[in-house]
Amino acid sequence: MADYQTFNMLQRHKAQLRDSVQLSSGIKLAAWFNSGDRVTNLSDHHTLSLYTADGYETWHKTQHGWRNGGGPDRFCLMPSGVESVWDIRADLSFVHLYCTDEHLRHLGEQIWDRSPSQLNLHEKIFAADNRITQLYRHFLLSTDWQQPANQLMLSCASTLLMTHLLQRYSDVHWQAPQVRGGLAPAVLRRVMAYIDAQLDQPLTLAQLAAEAALSEYHFARMFRSSVGEAPHQYVMRRRMDAALQLLKFSRLPLTEIALRCGFHSSSHFSNRFRQLHGVTPSAWRHDQA
């Protein structure tokens, strides 16, 4: 797995690591808190940072002196090889996504079937982008990173974020091709059967794409075109459908049901169930009885 210099650098400073996860693709997410710290960042990878709370007294050194402009939902894009100096004078909570040039080039090849001859991300400091905020807050910050069942959602959201960076904040200005039709019926049936057979496992986007013999990017777009929802949404729905059947027609304990349906703890299962149905699994089972 990749070793990210910015992540290691922050651990040597006052920054407190609140959560982190390395995805199967090698991309890493990290949630941090920092205050009263001076940080210099220069790395061989790209870092996309979103301020999730505070940050009003975070200052960035420019050639014209120090300037600030931080706050919740402001983002900073720090490309590989570009030095940035920060003075964090008060509380700041933020989330980082770390990826390499190799990750972005591979994604570009999946989208456009050609590799960018030159790929340069643009440095952005204290910027605003509703798409970045939406993807971070709706998919990444509302999800328990330590639950294997959430790897699929995290991978999908990370791919969407990097696609957005390529299309809006890089020298690559190719238009993404339009989806023309979805998966072939036989392929879709095979993927759906694979999902149902593997519900107790932490499914990944790479596994599902391999089953369809497609790149992750094209699979996700074609699956949505066929089914009307993203792969991670469909998988979660199938997990819940299976759980409902077991709750209604079996006497298995909740922990066993959670494990059979891909939730690696009963608390994770209960939380997701309550979000969808408004009651706990035990209360739902009691009402059915």
pLDDT tens, residue by residue, 208-219: 999 999 888 889
How many CA atoms within 13 Å lie on the side-chain side of 255? 0
pLDDT for residue 171: 85
Note the pLDDT tens digit of each residue in 1-11: 578 999 999 99
**If pLDDT is split at 50, 70 and 90, which confidence band does 265 have?**
confident
Tokens 């905020």, residue located: 133
75 to 97, 130, 259: CA distances (angstroms): 11, 10, 37
> Environment class of residue 87 by beta-carbon count within 10 Å: exposed (0-12), middle (13-18) or buried (19+)?
middle
Summarize the confidence of residues 260-278 as an average pLDDT: 89
Residue 25 has pLDDT above 90, yes or no: no
Side chain identity at residue 139, one-letter code:
F
Task: Give the confidence band of 62 by pLDDT, cuts at 50, 70, 90.
Answer: very high
Q: Supply the pTM of this predicted model.
A: 0.82
**Which residue type is seen at 237?**
R
pLDDT digits (tens, 9 = 90+) for 220-241: 889 999 999 999 999 999 999 9
Phi-psi category of 147—alpha, beta or left, where left has phi over 0 and alpha has psi -120 to 50?
Answer: beta
pLDDT score at 178: 63
Decide if pLDDT at 117 tops 70.
no
